[in-house]
Every structure is written in C-alpha cells, then in structure tokens.
Chain A
Amino acid sequence: MTGAPPIVTEVSRPWWEALARGEVCVQQCTACDHWIFYPRPFCPRCGARDPAWRTVDGAATLYTWSVARVPVAAAFAHLDEPILAVAELAIGIRVPTSLCDIAPQDVRIGMALAPVFDGGTYPGITLLRYRPA
C-alpha cells in the first residue's frame, strides 16, 4: 500500500462526497456564521450544534509550503520530493494539501491557486490538491 487514504467519518462524509462531484463544501455555523474546517458536529467558535454545509469557491491562496526532500514516511517514499502546502480559501479556512504543476523555485506564499480534484491517488477518494491559478 502506498500512501495512507483518509479515514472518513460520518460527520465529514459530505466534504468527501462534494470533492467527488468536483465541488468544495464547507460547514458554516447557523448561529454565528463562522466557517468550520475540519468538519465537526458543532461550531468551535460559539458551540452551536449542527452546522450547515455550503458549497463555496474552491479557489485559494498559498498560506505556507515546504518540499519533502527526504520521504516523510516509508508509505510515502514513492513521491518524488512532493511540495506539501497549506491553502487558504477566501472564506478564511485553511486546508492541508499538496501542489502540482509547479516547481519549488516558482512557489510564492500568497500566490493564487486553483483546485485540482484528484481522484487518482486513492481508490474511491477525491483529494483536494492545488495548482497555480
């Protein structure tokens, strides 16, 4: 087994189902409007229960990044110096991700990123990756 697929929970299932459709859906608190990521059954700002799922623009800016010049674990040794990153969506949430279609010397914090719905890494799962916009 290469990599390590996400262990999906009941609460987070709408996130993964949306990615499979080519959409980004994020929870929003119905009491205080706070955007919530990762998914939870409550709002970590005000404690209100049962946040709503909303479809949002998946475009993002690069918050931070690095390159794994040595494999992060044996299960990921097949990746050749992956660019690992955190992307920030316009609604303010930050998502762990990895970049494609770019070389390390061209990466800049703050650069505009477009979502890549990657269904090829793990069977039955679509990852949210990013490339330069």
Chain B
Amino acid sequence: MTDAPVTRDLARCAAIVGAAEYPARRFSEVPAANSLEQAADLALLALDDAGLTLADVDGLSVRGIYVTDQFLPATLAEYLGVRIGYGGAPDLGGAAAAGMVWRAAAAIERGVASAIVCVYPGNYPPAPPPGDRQQRSFGASSYLPGSPQAEFEIPYGHLGQNIPYAFIAQRYAHAHGYDPEALARLVVHQRRSANANPHAIFHGEPLTEADVLASRMIADPLRMLEIVRPIRGGTAVVVASPEVARRTRHRPVAISGYGEGIAHKSPQFARDILDPPLREAAATAFAMAGLTPGDMAGAQIYDCYTIAVLMALEAAGFCAPGAGFGFLRGHDMSFAGDFPLNTNGGQLGYGQAGGAGGMTHVIEGYRQAAGRAGARQIAGCDTMFVSGNGGIMSEQVALVLQGATA
C-alpha cells in the first residue's frame, strides 16, 4: 500500500464518464446486427448515460465495424454526423478496448480533444463469400503470402487460440507445477459474480469446481469451462476532459495510469513464453498513478482462458511469478470476496462478444469505481485495475482507474 490518496481529483486526468453495454445474448436469440448501426446506437447510449450529447463529441475510437476494412473513424464520424479532432482504431485484438481508453486519455490530456467516444460493437466478422481470399485466412491467423504463420505454423496445424494458450499452460506447469482445482475455483468464483449480474450469459446457472474439472478437454490442459463462450453484445464508453467530466451525471472515474506492452505475435516465437508484456504495461500504469497493486479494491483481468488470468495476476504484481495458484487458493475472488476479480462474471461468466469482450472489463472497472455496480457493488470502491489482452498474451494493456473526489 502507498500513502497516495485513493480518490483522484480531476485536475490532470481524463476520466470515464459514461458507458453502454448490451446484455449478453446467445447467437440463437438475436440475429447479427448491422455493426455500423450498432456502433452509433452504442455511442448514443453511452453519451446519454453520461448526460452528454453528440454536440459534445470531438473524438471517436472504434473497432468491430464490419461494413468496411478501413476508414473506421471517418465512417462512424460521417454516420453520426460529427466533425472530430481525434480518430482511433487501435489494432490490439482483445487489448484494443483498453488501448482505445488510454489513447483517448492521452489525447485529451494533450488537448487535442475533450470528449472521445470509444465504441466496440459486439459482432463477429461475417463469413467471407466462397472463393474470397479471406476464406483461407483461418480467422486471426494469417494465411496470406509472406506471413510467417502461413509458412511455419499453420501447415502443422498450429491454429486458433486454444492450442497456443495450451502451449503456455504446459510450459507454466513445467516451470511451476499445475493446479487444475485452483483454476476451477477461479471459474466458480467468477460464476458466482455472474449470478449477481442479470446481463451475464451464465446468469442463473451455478457451477461447481467438479463441473469445471469434468468439462470436456479441448487442448490439454485446457477444459471447456476454462474457455470463454462467444456471445452477441456490444459496448461503448465516453472518455472526457476534467472540464467536460464536471458537467456529467455520475461520479467520473479518472484514468490515473496506463501502460501497454507488445512482445510477439505467436508464443511459439516469444523470447520468454512465461513473461507476458503486461509486466511492463502494469509497472508503467502503477508508476503513473503513484499506486501499487495492494492499493486496488479489485481487478478486472482479461480472462479468455483461466491460464491468462493466473499469469496476468503475476505479471501485474498482485503476486510473485510462480505464486499464482497459491493466490487463487488464498482469496475469495467473487464480488463479495477479499479480492474481487472480474466482478461482472468476467468473460468466463458474462460471455465474450468478440473484441467487445475487452471493453466489458473496462466498463465493469468504471462501474465499480463510479459506485454503479448495483447488486455486485464492492463496498467503498475507489480504485480498480483493468487489463486487456490481445492475441496469445501478445499485446497487453493495463489501466489504473480511480473514482474522482466528490
């Protein structure tokens, strides 16, 4: 713990002032939306939540629009009818949402904009038409000429996310041992929080550790209930200057610290497969905020897989490298526990709406520090750590959020 104040005056920091998030829906429940219409709807909802209007907007950051491959900020600006001084579309996979937020904060702090809407609709890319060159792209794994993946990974069947995350988990087990029960405990605690969140995909479906350990093996040692469920959703937040934040409706949440790290594309080629770049990202963010992991009232850690949470807790400094299993066994990680972690259920409990999954962590961090988390509110929450994770622990972002001084 440090002696730094746990709340933050808004003299220097940009703040999150509003958010929008669709309830998680199964693919069978709702059809795919027009992602441009959805982006505009989410932007308007987030502005309304903040008590702002389109007239206040002078910046946009956006991904997950599938009507075009490029010109994303311009496309959305034209559609919304705004003229902007900042446009972003950070290419960071699951870290893009947190990446949008810190870039927006930095832009605001340098005075190039004062109210930036960060939008991530929750659709998946539509299937390419037959014969399209992207038909052979294998999703996020590039099969285009000149791609190292296309030449050295894909021919052997190294594809997707499950296998490379399993590679990391196996190597972690070799270095530090492996504790499947501790990982199952994490899933169960997050599910407990999901059961306090009516918008979570697994709301109303309690889970036991035995259920997790009996779920189907997908890629040894990863089991099905340790892996996110894809859903439909959609997210947006508004990042504002101190001046704009003061005339919004809710407690602003200052973006007190931020950091980013990119280490590799594929863990097969990582210099050290057990040293994720969140280590540097979190160190930068905590130093900027003048706070430590011990000052945090909780954490929203990107949880595409249980192993990703374990290693993020170590990399961010919540416990020592190799001590993650003991940490998971030693804490109650539900929203009511002594180390509240992924209090909306996380993506393992809420679901993963494509790249918007990363924004659900940002929004839950905002809601907790703003005192707006309802039945799952952490009592007296003033601080929150948020992480984003893209690729295979390839690109990672850390945010330190602080509720503003009343």
Contacts and interface: CB of A to CB of B under 8 A. Distances in A.
A32 interface: no
Contact of A66 (B148, B151, B167, B273): B167
B31 to A, nearest CB: 24
Nearest to B155: A6
A5 B155 contact: yes
A104 B269 contact: no
Interface string A50-80: 0000000000000111111110110110010
A109 B175 CA distance: 10
Specify which of B219, B268, B273 lies most central, judged by the most chain A CB atoms within 10 Å of its CB.
B268
A73 B159 contact: yes
Contacts of B154: 4, 6
Contact of A95 (B145, B152, B221, B222): B152
Interface residues of A, number: 38
B167 A86 contact: yes
Interface string B162-192: 1100111111001000000000000000000
A109 B160 contact: no
Interface residues of B, number: 39
Contact of A4 (B143, B168, B221, B269): B143
Given A84-B156, A84-B163, A127-B156, A38 B138 contact: no
Contacts of A8: 151
B156 A9 contact: no
Given A3-B155, A110-B174, A68 B163 contact: yes
Contact of B146 (A9, A63, A109): A9
Nearest to B168: A64
B145 A68 contact: no
Nearest to B159: A72
Contacts of A75: 138
Given A65-B167, A84-B157, A38 B269 contact: yes
A4 B167 contact: no
Interface in B216-274: 216-222, 266, 268-269, 273
A7 interface: yes
A7 B151 contact: yes
Contact of A6 (B144, B152, B168, B221): B152
Given A66-B219, A69-B216, A94-B269, A6 B150 contact: yes
B174 A68 contact: no
A109 B163 CA distance: 16
B136 interface: yes
Contacts of B167: 64-66, 84, 86
A122 B155 contact: yes
A64 B270 CA distance: 12
A30 interface: no
**B152, B174, B219 — most chain A CB neighbours (10 Å):** B152
Interface string A1-38: 00111111100100000000000000000000000001
Interface in A99-125: 104, 109-110, 121-122, 125
B268 A96 contact: yes
Residue of B145, B162, B163, B168 with most chain A CB atoms under a 10 A cut-off: B163
Contacts of A76: 157, 159
B220 A67 contact: yes
B153 interface: yes
Interface string B265-298: 0101100010000000000000000000000000
B159 A109 contact: no
Given A64-B273, A68-B219, A69-B218, 9 more contacts: A5-B155, A12-B151, A65-B170, A66-B166, A66-B221, A67-B220, A68-B157, A95-B152, A97-B156
28 contacts: A3-B155, A4-B143, A4-B154, A6-B154, A7-B145, A63-B171, A66-B163, A66-B222, A67-B219, A68-B163, A72-B157, A72-B158, A72-B160, A73-B138, A73-B160, A82-B157, A84-B158, A84-B167, A94-B268, A95-B152, A96-B152, A96-B266, A96-B268, A97-B156, A98-B156, A98-B157, A110-B174, A122-B155
8 cross-chain pairs, A with B, having the tightest CB-CB distances, nearest first: A66-B166, A72-B159, A109-B174, A64-B171, A64-B167, A7-B150, A6-B155, A6-B151
